[in-house]
Amino acid sequence: MAGEQLKDRIKALRKEKKMTLEQLAEASDTAKSYIWELENRDNPKVSAEKVAKIASVLGVTLDFLVGGAVEDRADAEDIAFFREYKSLPEPTKQTIRDMAKVIGKTK
């Protein structure tokens, strides 16, 4: 995805997740027309707040989506996951840590 623009990244990630414009709009609490504009216009009016919500739904960071410092998709997904993880209740975090230990031992 390196070298791609915002519109290319949004469309590729949305399609990869098999989401329609409507589904992404609903999940990110944005208008379908706004998602369409981001995917199809060369110079869309970008709202950092809305694009951050879209990035969250797509499982990446805002920085990755707009082509900022985090260019590696795996890193962006890990950062997005960790941000979500940090907001979880402690018992849920412990369950995830325990599962990671089990999964790590099976390799």
Residue 100's pLDDT is: 86
DSSP the chain: -TT--HHHHHHHHHHHTT--HHHHHHHHT--HHHHHHHHH-SS----HHHHHHHHHHHTS-HHHHTT-S---HHHHHHHHHHHHHHTS-HHHHHHHHHHHHHHHHT-
CATH of domain 6-105: 1.10.260.40
What tens-digit pLDDT sequence spans the chain (107 residues)?
Answer: 444 688 888 999 999 999 999 999 999 999 999 999 999 987 778 888 999 999 999 988 888 888 766 567 777 788 878 888 888 899 998 998 888 888 888 75
Residue 1's pLDDT is: 43
pTM of this prediction? 0.66
Domain locations along the chain: 6-105
